[in-house]
Amino acid sequence: MCGIVGYIGAQEKKKILLDGLQELEYRGYDSAGIAVISDGKLQHFKAVGKLKNLREKAADFRSEGPGAAIGHTRWATHGKPTELNAHPHVGAFSYVVHNGIIENYRELKEELEAEGVRFLSQTDTETVVHLFEQKIKEGLEPFDAFKATIDRLEGAYAILLISEAAPETIFFAKNGSPLLIAFGAEEIYFASSDTAVIGHAKEAYYLEDGEYGYACPGEVKLFGPEGEKTISTKPLPADKAMAQKDGYRFFMEKEIYEQSTVISDTMLGRVLEDRVEFEELDPSLFEGIDAIKICACGTSYHAGLAGAYLLERMAKIPCQVEIASEFRYKDPLLSPRTLFVTISQSGETADTLEALKMAKRAGLKSLSICNVDNSSIVRESDAAILTRAGIEKGVASTKAFATQVMVLWMLTLYLGRRNGAMTPEAIAHELEAMRHAPRALLVGERLHERIHRLSKRYLHGHGFFFIGRDLFFPLALEGALKLKEISYLHAEGYPAGEMKHGPIALADAELFTIALMPKTLLYDKIKSNVEELSARDATILAISPEAFELADDFIRTEEADHPMLEFFEMMVVTQLLALEISIRLGNDVDMPRNLAKSVTVE
Ligand code: M6R
């Protein structure tokens, strides 16, 4: 995920770009860059790390007067976060910024290299600027060259391109990644999100997939697959804080709604027709490995527990999961044939980081599953898979968890194929289900409204038990953690079959049981467990595709043909339940008491 901005006008361009990028920095911050074309001449600045480094580097640069400019803040996907890999990417006389992934970049790169083009970076994006310039060299007019370029691209993109071949013009295209055009008195702006232009512009047009065009002073031409289109703008919000939350009441709520989109980013370029590939992994990482140990804290630990069910069941790899703070002091017996996998949203959690260092000292190879590139855990690991959830602002983790689980599911298919434990048919079946995951994560308006109404009945009582079996046990743990951290009500996650071994003694009408009852996994077993609780008068909220007559409350989920699709849908239900209870109790959903987003102390 990256942020892009563009500007056409006579104001100080550097300031507009940098201020706009500042608003988008949450989308990625491992490097940033700007390029300005003024008096027909191009200039650029790039810096690794946060935007303040770029501000310092460009401190003496002045860019008033008519011209066009583009800027980018990067979340690395292809190539390390270096200055050469930072955008804008340069050709001989043009610059491009891009958010997304060009899936066929290898093929395009080979073609261009065969024609003598030299590449400076390891990115997919650089192909765009060279392709454009090749088309110009072939004699095409600049806009035709741009159109011919985007016609060759496969994958997701929001692209802005400027060129000395057409000074004062920005060429733009969108497919799968966000892009808007905003209009000021005399100026034209582009951005990934409207927070970057609020205060400068009053109206904006949010591009649809497949749209492209060009803008120059006083003119914007927009095209779609059917030809030229008219631009119908919408008023921009006046309040920046509200806009950052896209109209949602809390970041956590926004992040729950984002899950369907970010999970697609997690899969992008990795979930292929017949297999899963991780370009960032050197297959030698898995040589000599016959077991996996996952180590993490909190929500990330729950993702690890879910992943262990998948890895053992499908990839047939013995997999243990450990809480990092426990692991550190238990004098664990470690074998170099075990791959040490850490999971962390922030990449900075002290216990997880220390556990990783211990494992490394013991000679284990390491892999991290992390949301923040260049974080301490990523840097310390032999290899990393980035979850691509985008910056998560709510302290209660939601979309990071969804993407962690997705990566573990993908890793299962990757390893299952590698070690021959999964047949091509079994992999195809999983891939088919995986492609439906974004839909399972969509938040329906009616569902949210139902949970909102229902939540008023769950503001008291002497505790909650979230219960589930198999994969749904980690989800029960995670549902309980979400509820307790933002509502301050006592909640426990429990394996449903274990209730009768003690906790059932607590059952009475004031004990709220949230029962996860998927149809695709052990339905009859969990049903009996819930019946036992109901017989002891516990209040039951059942979450299931199948009506359950003993439930006091019922949330119906979709019939699905794969447990992971039920998993993701039920995950959304438990997140919304926690959110709505917390809001009703008047708590600060995004910054719950006593917690911090990144736990860098032991
Ligand atoms: O950044 P990490 O994933 O390593 O953080 C681990 C936990 O601190 C974190 O998941 C915590 O449990 C969340 N606040 C839960 O919502």
Domain segments of the chain: what residues? 3-243, 251-435, 445-584
Q: What are phi and psi for residue 294, nearest 5 degrees? A: -100, 135
Ligand 1 atom having least distance to the Cα of 599:
8
The CATH class of 3-243 is: alpha beta
Give residue for tokens 């909220």: 541
Which residues are marked as active site? 2, 597
Q: Which residues of the chain, if any, have pLDDT below 50?
A: none
Report how far ligand 1's centroid is from the alpha carbon of 300 (Å): 6
Helices 563-584 and 472-487 pack at an angle, to 10 degrees, of 10
Ligand 1 atom having least distance to the Cα of 349:
4
Q: Whose CA is nearest to atom 8 of ligand 1?
A: 298
Report how far ligand 1's centroid is from the alpha carbon of 349 (Å): 8
Helix (H) or strand (E) holding 401: helix 399-418
Q: What are phi and psi for residue 107, nearest 5 degrees? A: -60, -45
Q: Can you tell me the distance from the alpha carbon of 90 to that of 127, in angstroms, rounded to the nearest whole number?
A: 10
Report how far ligand 1's centroid is from the alpha carbon of 249 (Å): 22
**Structure confidence at residue 59 (pLDDT):** 92
**Structure confidence at residue 241 (pLDDT):** 62
Q: Can you tell me the distance from the alpha carbon of 336 to that of 462, in angstroms, rounded to the nearest whole number?
A: 46
Q: Whose CA is nearest to atom 11 of ligand 1?
A: 298
Ligand 1 atom having least distance to the Cα of 395:
14
The ligand 1 site (C-beta within 6 Å) comprises 297-300, 344-346, 349, 352, 395-397, 481, 485, 598-599
Q: DSSP assignment of 549-586, as one string?
A: TT-SEEEEPPP-SSHHHHHHHHHHHHHHHHHHHHHHTT
- Best residue among 251, 295, 299 to mutate for probing ligand 1's pocket (most ligand atoms within 8 Å of CB) is 299
**Structure confidence at residue 26 (pLDDT):** 65
- Best residue among 251, 294, 295, 300 to mutate for probing ligand 1's pocket (most ligand atoms within 8 Å of CB) is 300
Report how far ligand 1's centroid is from the alpha carbon of 146 (Å): 44
- On whether the CB atoms of residues 541 and 515 are closer than 8 A, the answer is yes
Q: Can you tell me the distance from the alpha carbon of 67 to that of 490, in angstroms, rounded to the nearest whole number?
A: 59
Structure tokens at 459: 């503001």
Phi-psi region of 377 (alpha: psi -120 to 50; beta: other; left: phi over 0): alpha
Ligand 1 atom having least distance to the Cα of 595:
14
Q: Can you tell me the distance from the alpha carbon of 468 to that of 544, in angstroms, rounded to the nearest whole number?
A: 11
**Structure confidence at residue 194 (pLDDT):** 81
Ligand 1 atom having least distance to the Cα of 346:
1
Report how far ligand 1's centroid is from the alpha carbon of 170 (Å): 41
Ligand 1 atom having least distance to the Cα of 352:
4
Parallel, antiparallel or unpaired: strands 219-224 and 211-216: antiparallel
**Structure confidence at residue 473 (pLDDT):** 98
Report how far ligand 1's centroid is from the alpha carbon of 542 (Å): 27
Question: Hey, which CATH number is domain 251-435, 3.40.50.10490, 3.40.50.300, 3.30.420.40, 1.10.10.10?
Answer: 3.40.50.10490
Q: Whose CA is nearest to atom 12 of ligand 1?
A: 298
- Best residue among 345, 371, 594 to mutate for probing ligand 1's pocket (most ligand atoms within 8 Å of CB) is 345
Q: Whose CA is nearest to atom 7 of ligand 1?
A: 298
Q: Whose CA is nearest to atom 14 of ligand 1?
A: 396
- Best residue among 391, 397, 594 to mutate for probing ligand 1's pocket (most ligand atoms within 8 Å of CB) is 397
The CATH fold of domain 445-584: Rossmann fold (3.40.50)
**Structure confidence at residue 600 (pLDDT):** 65
Torsion angle, CA of 308/313/319/322, rounded to 10 degrees? 30
Q: Do domains 251-435 and 445-584 have the same CATH topology?
A: yes
Structure tokens at 599: 């736990």
